[in-house]
Amino acid sequence: MTVAFAFLTGMTLVSALGVVLSRSVVHSALFMSGAFLGIAGFFVMLNAPALAAFQVLIYVGAVTVVILFGIMFTQRPQVRRFRTIINRQIWPGFFAAAGVGAFLCYILVGESWEGAEPGNGARSVAVLGRSLLGAGEGVEIFSLLFEAASVLLLVALVAAIAISRRKDEEEASR
């Protein structure tokens, strides 16, 4: 467990730093999928294999491909010096982010986690599915949240199509 944890930690954090610091945008996208794979490994370690499958399918598959398409449509060839990819706030931004991280670590480690033992999660897919649909015992709000998420996905689909349509060329071709 400790070896897997150390490996996944290194993979995730090094990939996350690669997203921030790499000079090519395509490298950033590939580093991002590496960080997502590390998180999927953490999900397996945390007894949530169905979530790990969702993570690999949606993040490593779909989101990375959509972002690569976005990169393909929007990038011009540009000088890849380090100054051109980063604005002037590199050190103020670093101190703000490090302050946030240090504060979160301080709070989370300082809290006493009485009775925190691994193995309480919904390990099987059936339990996770019932909980997600609000049919299991426990939280019942999930039936509402599930419906709201489906409506939100439909609205986002229509909005993405409506925003990214090219109107001028359509009118020009008529």
Q: Should residue 53 be labelled a site residue for another protein when binding is judged by CB under 8 A?
A: no
Among 7, 101, 135, 147, binds another protein (CB under 8 A): 101
Q: Identify which of residues 3 and 172 has a Cβ nearer to another protein in the complex.
A: 3
Q: Identify which of residues 109 and 174 has a Cβ nearer to another protein in the complex.
A: 109
The site string for another protein over 119-138 (x = CB under 8 A, - otherwise) reads xxxx----xx--xx----xx
Packing angle, helices 142-164 and 125-132, rounded to 10: 80
* Placement of tokens 């706030």 in the chain: 89
Q: Should residue 108 be labelled a site residue for another protein when binding is judged by CB under 8 A?
A: yes
Positive or negative, the CA dihedral 122, 127, 129, 134 is negative
CB-count exposure of residue 54 (10 Å: 0-12, 13-18, 19+)? middle
Q: Should residue 34 be labelled a site residue for another protein when binding is judged by CB under 8 A?
A: no
How long, in residues, is the chain? 174
Q: Identify which of residues 115 and 174 has a Cβ nearer to another protein in the complex.
A: 115
Contacting another protein within 56-85 (CB under 8 A): 58-59, 62-63, 66-67, 69-71, 73-76, 84-85
Which amino acid type is present at position 156? A
How many other CB atoms are found less than 10 A from the CB of residue 160?
11
Q: Identify which of residues 84 and 174 has a Cβ nearer to another protein in the complex.
A: 84
Tell me the number of residues near another protein by CB under 8 A.
90
Q: Are 64 and 32 in contact (CB under 8 A)?
A: yes
State the nearest-atom distance from the C-beta of 77 to another protein, in Å: 13
